[in-house]
Amino acid sequence: MARGGLPLVVAGSVLPDVLDYTLRLRHRSPITHNVLTVLLLLCLLPLSPLILFVALGVAHHLLLDALTKRGVYVGKRTVSLHHFTSSDPFANMFITLLHLAILPLFL
């Protein structure tokens, strides 16, 4: 991973929830939890290649949210793969362990 990329991926991974809170939007709003947000970030890529890392973090966040009952948005439509609830301790443990296992690949 390019130097400085990991912190930007981490920042991107929390960006949708931070924006919901900061802008006083409801959690998982159609503005911040939308696949189109990732596409918008990718359109900004010519401004800085580092935007790719932020977009990767946001995409990761949306992928995990898509696995829950509430899902995410693609445009105005909600998409849910509904395999877990966000409060499921076993699912959260699995996701955490998976991330810890793949983390060395990015260091």
- CA-derived radius of gyration, the chain: 14
Q: Are 79 and 68 in contact (CB under 8 A)?
A: no
User: Residue 102 is encoded by which pair of tokens?
Assistant: 């793949």
Q: State yes or no: pLDDT of 83 exceeds 80.
A: no
CA–CA gap between residue 4 and residue 74 (Å, rounded): 30
pTM value is 0.82
Under the banding of pLDDT at 50, 70 and 90, the label for residue 82 is confident
Over the stretch 19-46, which tens digit does the pLDDT of each residue have?
999 999 999 999 999 999 999 999 999 9
Output the furthest CA–CA distance in the chain (Å, rounded).
41
Over the stretch 38-78, which tens digit does the pLDDT of each residue have?
999 999 999 998 999 999 999 999 988 888 888 999 999 99
pLDDT at 19: 95
81 versus 73: the higher-pLDDT residue is 73
Under the banding of pLDDT at 50, 70 and 90, the label for residue 87 is confident
Q: State yes or no: pLDDT of 1 exceeds 60.
A: no
